[in-house]
Amino acid sequence: MCGIVGYTGPSQAAPILLEGLAKLEYRGYDSAGLAVRDGSALAEVVKATGKLAHLADKTDQGRALPGTCGIGHTRWATHGDPSMVNAHPHVSGNCSGSGSGTVESDVVGVHNGIIENFAELKDKLLRHGYQFYSDTDTEVVVKLVDYYYNKYRIGPVDAINRMMVRVRGSYALALMFKDYPGEIYAARKDSPLIIGVADDAAYLASDVPAILKHTRSVYYIGNQQAARVCPGQVTFYDLNGDEIQLPQTEITWDAEAAEKGGYEHFMLKEIHEQPAAVRDTLKSLLKDGALSLADTGLTDETLQGLGQIEIVACGSAWHVGMAAQYVIEDLAGVPVRVELASEYRYRNAPVPKNTLMVVISQSGETADSLAALRVARERGLETLAVVNVIGSTIAREADHVLYTVAGPEIAVATTKAYSAQLIALDALAVRLAAVRGAISEEEVQRLTDELAAIPDKISRILEDKDRIQWFSSKIANAHDIFFIGRGLDYAISLEGSLKMKEISYIHSEAYAAGELKHGTISLIENNTLVVGVLTQPKLFEKTVSNMAECKARGAYLMGLTTHGNYAVEDSVDFTVYVPKTDEHFVPSLAVIPLQLLGYYTSVNRGLDVDKPRNLAKSVTVE
Ligand code: AGP
């Protein structure tokens, strides 16, 4: 959600900023803008609604904007509609129009996050003579910094610190001050922001891909910390204005990992990267051939003493939790509750002692998941984060971290990060069961071997993707699709349904198959597509019966099951098989055809697969 970039150095800034913004497009946006300075007191501000290409056209790919210091932004609207006037950057000076053109303003800034008390702050600033041209909370925060800067005649860092004490909410901010040419000031709380220094230049960005071409060494600014970014140099400050040292983190993945690498879309590339993501994640949890959680810092004593596990997450990560619930309870006998982070944070559910809270998040920045983690820590729970992005806020704030090794995921619809999370939770379940003596050593070895075989089985499914492509062309005009299953098959249905709706815009629902006749079956009409997930031996016949009930009301049926269950072809219109594995681990295989189904349906409908409308990759607002 929203992307921020900044550059100061010897080169022309605007082309570098546009290139960086292009790498952040996956975050989701509806308008974009740049502010560039050439050393004078003036800043050139250019904004455009819609695609980044409009901004690039307006500035001749950035070449028309002179200046070697600048900031850029892609905006995902929160306060105020997606329009020129609300697009960033915003300026502190009173001006008419949209705050763009050549402006002489003490402060110019871009922001990612939400300022919760912006209305109250706006009133205060109005009383002090400030005028506002936009509906954004960002204009308020830029003007608030300006207010402190001018009222107390203090430097940028002190003005920013006063602002940080006064505002509530989340922010990553990049600001330029008229009196400090060639410098960018940054501050953050709960929204991502990184800084990289290379030779005689320095870069800011919301995420690594935007600056990876220039440097692999990055700094993660902490909450309520500020930075002064100069060519070739960065200085960090705490809330008192005292200088602090921050460690540098080396990014280990290649720039190519964040490129399409010959695939038509990031999503298709990431679907194909799943064997590697699963293999690498599993490898990171194997020590001498045995599953181990030692690197997370979770001790065997903690695992043995657990009375309950609470899994908290959003979207697909929550679906991973739903699947893990069945596996952990079945293998290890530990009760599991799975909560939506957005609900958990406002509930006051009593929590039994010896509860481990597991937060699952690809980005490690999802606002609701982060807030839930903080609530759990306040309640004194031990916390484990299952996170893909190294150094992200959730990873830094949890007691223990289990990193999935999926590499950068760019497509908004998650695929490889989901699969990496799933295998990580399966490994956790097996290790938990082993440590608690819930299963024999032979069973632990058998399950470990089954997990190790998953990547090759995913590859085999991918080799047969043409069938799904053909089927998706038949269903691309569907109005409604229902995904049904029981137990783990219900968890897979949830993910299959989300994959379909988020990128194809076809209405779809996932239902526990037994629930259909309690209301949903009234929605079944002639030719409504019902996808039945039928991988669990004990539940197979039950779900087939529920599908037959849909068929009797005109539904068109697709069955998804494991090789060997060929009798299903008598009951459904189209069947997809995945290789056999232990029943606990089938979601890792069954989800692949459903990802492909969503992908090809989106392609067949001519939609923007990687950047679906209204969605953002990392949801950093509540
Ligand atoms: C799934 O395709 C979505 N992009 C979304 O549901 C996502 O899983 C959710 O927003 C959670 O994100 P996180 O894993 O980064 O916390």
Largest CA distance in the chain: 80
Report the C-alpha gap between 60 and 44 in whole angstroms. Answer: 14
Question: What backbone torsions phi and psi does residue 48 show, to the nearest 5 degrees?
Answer: -155, 145
Q: What's the mean pLDDT in 90-114?
A: 86
Structural tokens at position 319 = 């679906």
- Output the CA torsion sign for 78, 611, 190, 171: negative
AA letter at 202: A
- What residue ranges do the domains of the chain occupy? 3-251, 258-459, 464-607
Q: What's the mean pLDDT in 3-28?
A: 94
Give burial (CB, 10 Å; 0-12/13-18/19+) of 18.
Answer: buried
pLDDT at 614 over 80: yes
Ligand 1 pocket member 448 (CB < 6 A): no
Beta-ladder partners of 228: 185, 235
pLDDT digits (tens, 9 = 90+) for 600-609: 999 999 999 9
Residue 286 C-alpha from the chain's centroid: 26
pLDDT at 277 over 70: yes
DSSP H helices in 505-578: 540-551
Whether the CB-CB separation of 317 and 619 falls below 8 Å is answered with no
The pLDDT of residue 350: 85
Q: Judge whether 457 counts as a catalytic residue.
A: no
Element (H, E) at 113: strand 107-115
Whether the CB-CB separation of 272 and 262 falls below 8 Å is answered with no
Lowest pLDDT segment from 158-172, 256-270, 277-291, 439-453: 256-270
What percent of the chain shows pLDDT beyond 90? Answer: 84
Residue that has been written with the tokens 């079944």 in this structure: 524
Ligand 1 pocket member 500 (CB < 6 A): no
Whether the CB-CB separation of 493 and 483 falls below 8 Å is answered with yes
Ligand 1 center to residue 417 CA distance, Å? 9
Q: At the fourth CATH level, which superfamily is domain 3-251?
A: Aminohydrolase, N-terminal nucleophile (Ntn) domain (3.60.20.10)
Ligand 1 center to residue 472 CA distance, Å? 24
Strands 184-189 and 225-230, sheet pairing: antiparallel
Output 98 or 342, whichever has higher pLDDT: 342
The pLDDT of residue 589: 98
Residue 515 banded pLDDT, cuts 50, 70, 90:
very high
- DSSP, collapsed to helix, strand or coil, labels residue 377 as helix
Beta-ladder partners of 508: 481
Instruction: State the pTM of this model.
Output: 0.82
Atom of ligand 1 nearest to the CA of 319: 8
Ligand 1 center to residue 483 CA distance, Å? 19
- DSSP, collapsed to helix, strand or coil, labels residue 391 as coil
Q: Considering the chain, what is the average pLDDT of its residues?
A: 94
AA letter at 408: P
Report the C-alpha gap between 43 and 139 in whole angstroms. Answer: 16
Lowest pLDDT segment from 244-258, 378-392, 460-474, 499-513: 244-258
Ligand 1 pocket member 368 (CB < 6 A): no
In the CATH hierarchy, which top-level class contains the domain 464-607?
A: alpha beta
pLDDT at 96 over 70: no
Atom of ligand 1 nearest to the CA of 366: 16
Atom of ligand 1 nearest to the CA of 618: 15
- DSSP, collapsed to helix, strand or coil, labels residue 470 as helix
Q: Where are the extended beta strands (E) located within 131-221?
A: 169-177, 184-189, 194-198, 201-205, 217-220
The pLDDT of residue 76: 86
The pLDDT of residue 104: 82
Question: What backbone torsions phi and psi does residue 280 show, to the nearest 5 degrees?
Answer: -70, -35
Element (H, E) at 358: strand 355-361
Contacting residues for 129 by C-beta, under 8 A, at least 6 apart:
none
Report the C-alpha gap between 287 and 279 in whole angstroms. Answer: 14
- Output the CA torsion sign for 174, 177, 182, 185: negative
Whether the CB-CB separation of 492 and 535 falls below 8 Å is answered with yes
Strands 382-387 and 400-403, sheet pairing: parallel
pLDDT digits (tens, 9 = 90+) for 341-383: 999 988 888 888 899 999 999 999 999 999 999 999 999 999 9
Structural tokens at position 274 = 């799943």
Residue that has been written with the tokens 């602090």 in this structure: 244
pLDDT at 392 over 90: no
The pLDDT of residue 42: 83
AA letter at 350: P
Residue 105 banded pLDDT, cuts 50, 70, 90:
confident
Structural tokens at position 436 = 């608690």
Report the C-alpha gap between 30 and 33 in whole angstroms. Answer: 11
Ligand 1 pocket member 270 (CB < 6 A): no
Q: 258-459 — its CATH code?
A: 3.40.50.10490
Whether the CB-CB separation of 303 and 332 falls below 8 Å is answered with no
Report the C-alpha gap between 74 and 33 in whole angstroms. Answer: 7
Residue 79 banded pLDDT, cuts 50, 70, 90:
confident
Residue that has been written with the tokens 């309690």 in this structure: 518
Q: Judge whether 2 counts as a catalytic residue.
A: yes
Q: What's the mean pLDDT in 408-427?
A: 97
Same CATH fold assignment for domains 258-459 and 464-607: yes
Report the C-alpha gap between 81 and 530 in whole angstroms. Answer: 37
Ligand 1 center to residue 37 CA distance, Å? 37
Report the C-alpha gap between 581 and 422 in whole angstroms. Answer: 15
- Output the CA torsion sign for 399, 404, 407, 412: negative
- Quote the DSSP letter at residue 222: P
